Structures are given as C-alpha cells and as structure tokens.
Structure 1
Amino acid sequence: MRPTVQCLAPGGFFSRSLEEFKRLSQFAIKLEGLSSPRKPFPLVRFDTAEDLKQCKKMSDKDIGGFSTVNFDHHPVTQTEPAHARFHGTISTQLPHNQPHVQRTGYAGFRTLEQGRTIFGQSFWDVSLYGYLALQFKSDGRKYFINVQTDSIVPTDIHQHLLHSKTPGEWETVLIKWNEFVRTNHGQVVEPQREMLTQKVRTVGISLIDRIPGPYDLSIGNIWATNATEEDDILQRAPGDLQGLPVGSLRRGDYNRKVGRRDSVQEEPERDITETTR
C-alpha cells in the first residue's frame, strides 16, 4: 500500500499519527501523568485564515430557516489578538414549505473531529487540566460554550454560559470542567454525570436565545489550563479575567497575585436548542 498525498499532508492520517506519537512520547518522557501540567494545552487557535478550516459553522438555515452565520479571520493588530469573528443575523421565521420545522432562531460553530490515527480515534485528553480557558469579545448576547465527548450517549453535549462582564471589550474566562451542564437534544439531562475529559471530541459555541437581530462574537484562543505562571497564553491574555483561582499569576508580574473571580454559576435554560450536530 502506498501512502496518498492526502495521508501525508498536514492533517492527514499519517500526519495525525505522527503528532499523536510525539504527544504520547513526550507524555511518557516527562512523566506528565504523575503531576499536573504547568504549561497550557492549546485546543483552538486562529492565528491564520487557514485555521478556520478546523471549524464547522451551523445555523437553522440547515433545516430551512433564515438565520445567517459568518466566520471570518482577523489577523493580529496592535490592539487585538488574531481571532475568528462569528457573526450574522438571527431570524425566528419558519420555512413555509416545511411544516415539520417548528423552531428556528439559532447559530453556532464547532471544531471538526480530529480523525483517526494508527492508535485509533484521536481525542483531546484534558483530564489533567482544571479549566477550559477562552479569549473572547462579546456583544453581550447569551452564548453557550459546548463540549462534546466520546460518551456512552453520543448526542450528549456539555454546556456552560459564556458570560460577558465587559461587552465590546476583550475578556478571558476560565471555567472548571465540572461546571459544565450535561444536555441532550436541547434538554438538561439527569443525572448529571461527570464529563469524560479524557476523550473530548469537539469544542464550540452556540447562540440560542432566539432573539431576532444581529450578533457578533470574536474568539481568540481556546485552551486547557491549570492557571499557572507558566501558562504563557494566560499571561498575555487581553482585558478582564474571570474564574482565576486564588494565587494565580498573570502577565509576568509574579509578585502580584490576582484574587479569584468566580466563573458564572448561572444554570443554562432548560430548553436548549441543539446546534452542535
């Protein structure tokens, strides 16, 4: 069997397998399983326009609705980090020729699944990290962060409100993995099982408030972290910070400790439209 160009290309089967082998080798060499990692674990970066290809955008337009979704790249400037801009218009208008569609008014995006390697299906293992961190600039609307894992129920999605304290300005939020709420087909599910953080399939964001009109959300880095002084992404994070644990340090100022600002405890609505498939 001769390897194809697609297999050898970046993101191809053999390329993914090599990256997974490197990751597992470093894990063994550094004995990372014996202690909590101090460096960040990048999940999503938008450094270049090519990085947008790692994401899939969605809206009710997929079922005949009229909401729009755009996903644009913006390079780094003196005032802003490199980021993706998720924007468009929400419409609750129902399609006339599809009577089975009874609910519209949502949009979202998520990362693509990482594909298979010679070691099997590839996942993000964030079990040694305490937080999901995200850089964003919001218009103040009610967005949700969505995490999909390789759970027994494949349609389960874990969600958390992306709360903005300073709309129109860059912020960084740290969310504990156990603060996410398990949902299925738009409904909160009981019992609330612990998230399978060893096997994270995708990460995404959705807007499901069903309020007609424009929306605009900018996303920088998304990463797993233990909020240490060796997290260079966190140290450079622009704007306000939410969810830092007591004793965390940032921006290289190792003599000044930043007190905890608890991440949002608000529970997601119990009528959550499924937008992550």
Structure 2
Amino acid sequence: MSGMKAYIDRSLDIIKRNTVNTLRMNPSPKPGPISIFSFHNPPITPLSSVATGCDADIGGVSTAELTMVEQSGADESAEPSHMAFHGTLSLHVPPEFVGRIRTGYAAFRSKTRPSLFGDDVWNLDLYSHLRVRLTYRGWEGWRSKFVCNLQTDGPVRSDLFQHRLDLPSTYATNDPRPVPLATGLKFVTLHLPLSNFVLTNSGLASETQVEMMRQKVRTVGFALLGGGRQTAPSDAKIREAQRGHRVAAGGWGTASPSEEIDPEMAELLASDLGDASYVRKRTTSGGRAGGYHRVGESAEAFLDEAERAEAGIEEVGEAGYYELCIQSVEAVRLDPEGEVEESDE
C-alpha cells in the first residue's frame, strides 16, 4: 500500500469512526477489543508499520530485528505463527564512545499514523487493559528487563507511560548465544491494567504521576532495557545532551554524522541520563482495575534499579540473545465480575 493511499484511508476511517460515535446515542458499556498489533490472525499488521531501534543507533553494538515466523508445516498462504523481535543486547561501550553514550537497549513501536486531521490515535477511554499474547525465548538474563510503552498525543513527546512485563520462563536459557527462530511455541496471555502504567520522562519515573490521556494513545511499543548500565555521565555531558542532542530509545548521546537517524524512533523512548540527584518516586496510582494482571501480580508496575536489587533480581552480564515473540496486542475492557481467560497454547 502506498503512503498516500494509507494516508487517505486513515483520514476516511477517522471520519467514519467520528460519525458512528456521534450517531450512537447509547455507547456500548463493554466495547469490543481494539486491535493494535496482529501477527497471527488477519488482518496481519505489516512490519512496515513498525519502527525499531537499539543502541547501535548512537554507537553501541546491540542488534534489533523484526521477523514474521511462519507456522510449522504450513504452506505459504497460511497465516504466520507470530512476530519475533530478536537480536543481541550488549552493554559494551566502544572505546571511542566511553563517557558519551549509554548502551543496553532495544525497542520497537507502532509508527505514527498521519492523516488530514493530524496523527491518528487510539481512543482507549472505554478500555481497562492491554491484552498481550506472547512468549519469550533467549537468555534468562534479559527476561525480566522488558517493558511496554504507551505514548499519548500530549505536549511532551518524551513522556511515556510504562509497565514492566513478567515474561514466561518456558523457553529461557542460561546460554547467551543466539538460537534459531522456532514455531510450535506455547504462548501466554498477559493483561496489563491501563491504570497501572507509570508516567516516565527522560528514562525516569516522574515525581508527579498524572492520569494517562487514554483518548489519545499515539504509539504502543515494547522495549528491552538492559540494566547494569555504565557509570552515569558527568554533569557536563548531561547538560550537553539536554541542550538539544538527540536522545534515543533508552540511551542518550548523538549518532555519528554519517548515520541516518530514523525520525520515527527518535522519540520512542527518552534519554536515560542517570542524574544521581534525582530521586525516583514509586507510583501511588489506584488499584489494579479488577486484579487482572495475573502474571507477576505482587510486583509493582515499575521497579527502579534499587528496587530490583532489593527484590533479588541479579545484575546481568555484558551481552546475550533475546527474542520476544508476539501474536497480538489488543485493548480490552474486562468486567471485574467476569472471568479472565487462562493462558493457553
């Protein structure tokens, strides 16, 4: 699909949605799911609508790739099994960039969707959770380091609402080396309460937690933040970065002049400046909206490094393979009195 056709189609879709909302005098108390990513059932989300990035964008050596994985034994016309976000995450800083960049991140997100009426957004005002069908393969050291990010159409584009993921350990391994992509995997369903997403800015939990603007969710994405990063940069380096140097997904610094910067990823995640004078505050947002986040129920939605250490989450080594396998991401409204679907294959 050409960019112009997609642009026009999105504009017409906005008109259609707004017309339906105006004519519907009694909105449904329990709306149907909104599909954000679908990599298993049609219509399949094209990978061209997803942006990726990692610390290699600013001089690191991590890798990040999106691959559609076909079902085992299926013909070419069959729907895919899932999408794999995979690569090697490395905390290594090349000598020429020591003290200038922070490494150890990889991420992807939905691209912005421009239209005649501005960027198209998801209205999640009537929804309570994100329902994610996924599994994890790769090094155990990275399994607890994934987060889900929501970016709203607010005035500060570096604001992200973040929720950490408790990924299943079924296919995790102590071997950091890459493994071939596989089919026939067992997937689980996570329900992430929208009320438990924590506002972050410049890589830190904001001292002032505000309610997410659910009517205007601009992008949805997932990131691997390696933790155990190098020592925080000096105050001079921080001021230099804040004066307008590019920030990237979970790191900070500038790309080399010869590198082309992907504008879609430039604001995926804000910088992780590591200002020691800043005290992170744990969120005091409301309850769990029915308690549907069954995986990791006792954990906070966001843990800083001190809290991770207190919880006994070990620091990781320098590099290892990761593979986040996703079938679908949907916005859903769950009835507190109803049942939550169980994890299944």
Q: TM-score range by the shorter chain?
A: 0.7 to 0.9
The CA deviation at 1:54 is: 1.1
CA–CA distance in structure 2, aligned partners of residues 213 and 66 of structure 1: 12
Assess, with a 3 A threshold, how the Cα gap between structure 1 residues 24 and 82 changes in structure 2: closer, same or farther: farther
SS at match of 1:82: strand
The CA deviation at 1:160 is: 0.5
Q: Does 1:27 align with 2:27?
A: no
Match among 221, 227, 232 for residue 328 of structure 2: 221
Assess, with a 3 A threshold, how the Cα gap between structure 1 residues 53 and 202 changes in structure 2: closer, same or farther: same
The CA deviation at 1:96 is: 2.5
Aligned residues: 227
The CA deviation at 1:30 is: 3.5
CA–CA distance in structure 2, aligned partners of residues 148 and 64 of structure 1: 25
SS at match of 1:218: strand
Structure 1, residues 54-106: CA drift from partner, whole Å, max 9, x if none? 11111000001000111101235589973210111111111222345242011
CA–CA distance in structure 2, aligned partners of residues 59 and 217 of structure 1: 15
Report the RMSD for the aligned CA atoms in angstroms: 2.6
Quote the residue 1:173 is aligned against: 190
CA–CA distance in structure 2, aligned partners of residues 51 and 6 of structure 1: 13
SS at match of 1:198: helix
Query: Is contact 1:106–1:207 with CA below 8 Å preserved after alignment?
Result: yes
Q: Bigger relative contact order, structure 1 or 2, given CA contacts below 8 A and separation 6+?
A: 2
Quote the residue 2:157 is aligned against: 154
Quote the residue 2:11 is aligned against: 17
CA–CA distance in structure 2, aligned partners of residues 149 and 195 of structure 1: 8
Structure 1, residues 100-120: CA drift from partner, whole Å, max 9, x if none? 524201111111011122x33
Within a 5 Å distance, the mapping from 1:198-209 to structure 2 comes to 198-209=215-226
Within a 5 Å distance, the mapping from 1:41-80 to structure 2 comes to 41-47=34-40, 51-76=46-71
Percent of residue pairs identical:
33
Letter in 1 for 2:94: P
Query: Is contact 1:41–1:224 with CA below 8 Å preserved after alignment?
Result: yes
SS at match of 2:215: coil
Q: Which runs of 4+ in 1 moved over 4 A?
A: 47-50, 76-81
CA–CA distance in structure 1, aligned partners of residues 340 and 201 of structure 2: 37
Tell me the TM-score normalized by structure 2: 0.60
Match among 187, 191, 202 for residue 185 of structure 1: 202
Structure 1, residues 200-225: CA drift from partner, whole Å, max 9, x if none? 11001111124421111101111111
CA–CA distance in structure 1, aligned partners of residues 209 and 113 of structure 2: 26
CA–CA distance in structure 2, aligned partners of residues 159 and 148 of structure 1: 9
Q: Which has the higher strand share?
A: 1
CA–CA distance in structure 1, aligned partners of residues 15 and 81 of structure 2: 29
Structure 1, residues 29-57: CA drift from partner, whole Å, max 9, x if none? 3446x443331111111247761111111
Q: Does 1:143 align with 2:137?
A: no
CA–CA distance in structure 2, aligned partners of residues 43 and 31 of structure 1: 26
CA–CA distance in structure 2, aligned partners of residues 108 and 71 of structure 1: 10
Assess, with a 3 A threshold, how the Cα gap between structure 1 residues 78 and 25 changes in structure 2: closer, same or farther: farther
Query: Is contact 1:36–1:129 with CA below 8 Å preserved after alignment?
Result: no
Query: Is contact 2:136–2:168 with CA below 8 Å preserved after alignment?
Result: no
Letter in 1 for 2:39: F
CA–CA distance in structure 2, aligned partners of residues 178 and 28 of structure 1: 27
Structure 1, unmatched stretches of 5+, are 229-244, 251-257, 262-277
SS at match of 2:64: strand
